[in-house]
Amino acid sequence: DPSIQQDINSVRSSILEEFRNNKTNRKFELSDIFGNIMEFSSDQHGSRFIQQKLETASENDKQRVFEEILPDALTLMVDVFGNYVIQKFFEYGTREQIQRLSIVLEGHVLPLSLQMYGCRVIQKLLQALDVLEYNQIEKLVHEIEGNVLKCVKDQNGNHVIQKCIEKVPSEIIQFIVDSFSGQVYSLAIHPYGCRVIQRILEHCGEKQIAPILDELLHCTCSLVQDQYGNYVIQHVLERGRKQDKSAIIDKLQGKIISMSQHKFASNVVEKCVEYGSKDERAMIIEEILGSKNPDRLVANLLTMMKDQYANYVVQKIIDVVDDEQRRLLIQKIKPHIPSLKKYTYGKHIIARLEKTQPKSHR
C-alpha cells in the first residue's frame, strides 16, 4: 500500500531519508548523524552504517554515539536492527562504556535472555567479562537463578546458559549445575538440553561434572537410543575420562549386536570401538564373532553386515583394530565371503577388509 509507505517516509527524519536515498553520493560520517543515532540504529541501513563506523571510530565519536543510545539501550537490545549496535559496544566499546551498559542490564537479564535479539546481547556481554568486576558478573548471572531450566529449554535462553558455562567463573555458575540435579536424563533427551549438558562436560571442573556423569551413566542404555541423548554419550566417549568411557562400554556389554542395529545407538557403538581400550575392543569383537557355534557365528555376522546401521560398526572395527585383531577378523569372516557378497553392505565390508590387509596375507 503506497499510502503506508508514505507514512513510514514521513516519520523518517530528513537525514535518514537522505542517507537511504543517497542520490548525491555524499560520503556520510558518524558526525553527520549525531542527534539521530537512535533512529539510525533502528533502521536496517542506518544500523549497518553505525556498526561499520564504530569499528574504526575515534574515542570521541564513539562516546557521542554511546551517550545517545544509553538512555534507550534496553529498547535497542530487543530491536531487530538496534541489537547489533549494542553488540558492537561490547566488542569495540571502552571499559567504561561496557561497565555502564552492564548497569543498564541489571534487573533485565532474564527477559533479555529469553528474547530473540536480547539473548545475543547477553551473549556478547558474557564475552566481555574481562572488563567487569567479579561482583557485577555474579549479580547479572544470578538473575537467571530459579529459571535455569526454563532458559535451557528455550530456543534463545539455551544459548545464554551455554555461554555462561563457557565464560563465567565456575563457582559463580554452581547454581546452574545444581539446578540440573535429578534432571539430567530429561535434559539429555532435549534438543537444547543435550547441548547444555555437553558444555558442562567440556568446561566445568571434575567436582561439578561428577553428579552429572553419575546420572548419565545411570541411564546410558536409554540415552544411547535417543535422538539427542546419544550425542551426550558419544561426547563422554570422545572426551571423557578413561573410567567414564569404560563405564559406558560396560553398560552396553551383552547388547552390542542389538544396539548396533539401532539408528542412534549404532553411532555410540562405533564410538565405543573407536575410543575404547584394546581390551574393550576385543570384548566387542568377541561379542559379535565369538560364538563357538558356527551357525550362530554366521547368523551374527550376517545380521551385522546386512543391517543399514550395524554394517558401519563392522567397518569401524576393521578400521581401528591392530594387525593381530584384524588377522583374527579376516580368519573368521573369510569362509563367509561368498554369502556376504549378496548383500549391499557386505560388499563394502569385504572391500574394506581387502584394502586393509597387508599384501603378504592376501
- Per the listing, cell 547444555 goes with 196
Lookup: cell for 112: 533479555
The lowest-confidence range among 1-5, 41-45, 233-237, 320-324 is 1-5
What is the per-residue pLDDT across 182-206, written as a single tens digit (0 to 9) for each? 999 999 999 999 999 999 999 999 9
CA 31 to chain centre: 41
Per-residue pLDDT band at 62 (split at 50, 70, 90):
very high
pTM: 0.89
Per-residue pLDDT band at 3 (split at 50, 70, 90):
low
Residue 26: predicted pLDDT: 84
CA distance 81 to 332: 64
Per-residue pLDDT band at 1 (split at 50, 70, 90):
low
CA distance 222 to 356: 35
- By the 10 Å C-beta count (0-12 exposed, 13-18 middle, 19+ buried), 122 is classed as buried
> Per-residue DSSP letters for 62-92?
HHHHHHHHGGGHHHHHTSTTHHHHHHHHHHH
CA end-to-end span of the chain: 77
Lookup: cell for 75: 529498547
Per-residue pLDDT band at 4 (split at 50, 70, 90):
low
| Nearest Cα to Cα of residue 312 among 349, 259, 354, 355 | 349
Is the pLDDT assigned to residue 32 strictly greater than 60? yes
Higher-scoring residue by pLDDT: 333, 234: 234
Rounded to 5°, the CA angle 243-245-250 comes to 90
Is the pLDDT assigned to residue 2 strictly greater than 90? no
Arithmetic mean of pLDDT over the chain: 92
